[in-house]
A and B are shown apart, each in its own frame.
Chain A
Amino acid sequence: AQSVAQPEDQVNVAEGNPLTVKCTYSVSGNPYLFWYVQYPNRGLQFLLKYITGDNLVKGSYGFEAEFNKSQTSFHLKKPSALVSDSALYFCAVRDITNAGKSTFGDGTTLTVKP
């Protein structure tokens, strides 16, 4: 069975500071990993993904994430947070041996204060 854990319900950071939103996963095979963001009253939007290759992936709005196979983690990061980054963030995993199924974490609410 595949699973995703986002251990923090809420992350608070000050504008201009770096931010990290944590995600760990469990799959039987090799993972495809994704981050999505949900702004208030808007649909989920894709941020970035890891499929294979370089462990550090870069995505939209200055976000990046690092794939760590030994720690089964895929943490989302940004060097300098903006107030407009405040939103609900979801980590998701697909197992290449379990076609078609996506498992999402429970989400982490990021609040960036001015």
Chain B
Amino acid sequence: KAGVTQTPRYLIKTRGQQVTLSCSPISGHRSVSWYQQTPGQGLQFLFEYFSETQRNKGNFPGRFSGRQFSNSRSEMNVSTLELGDSALYLCASSLLRDANEQFFGPGTRLTVL
């Protein structure tokens, strides 16, 4: 079974631009979560989608948004990029419920110049 895939793997943007990251979960998984990983802040929860609905979100500004499609694929968008948005963005999928473990993708490395 194919794992979680994320595209692109690397991105370089400049301040003020916007970016869209994509995540394809494992087939059959309906929950997709997004995280920001930085050396200083660890793994920070961005949001979680289940059956196209955002169930929960972390403490990030409104510049960070996401959505989930009917096939469970998810996208994350960051508008008006700031230098501090440079990070590894991880997507994770899980089968159904909160008791299920998450499977992580390799991440998208975003660099904002």
Interface of A toward B, CB cutoff 8 Å: 32, 34, 36, 43-46, 49, 51, 90, 94, 96, 98-107
Contacts and interface: CB of A to CB of B under 8 A. Distances in A.
Secondary structure type dominating chain B contacts:
strand
Given A94-B98, A99-B56, A99-B98, A104 B43 contact: yes
Contacts of A102: 33, 45, 48, 102
Interface of B: 31, 33, 35, 42-43, 45, 48, 50, 55-56, 58, 90, 92, 98-99, 101-107
A100 B98 contact: yes
Nearest to A104: B43
A32 to B, nearest CB: 5
A34 B101 contact: yes
Contacts, number: 55
A42 to B, nearest CB: 8
A36 B33 CA distance: 15
Contacts of B105: 43
Nearest to A45: B104
Nearest to B55: A100
A46 B101 CA distance: 7
A90 B104 CA distance: 13
Contacts of A90: 42-43
A99 B55 contact: yes
Contacts of B43: 90, 104, 107
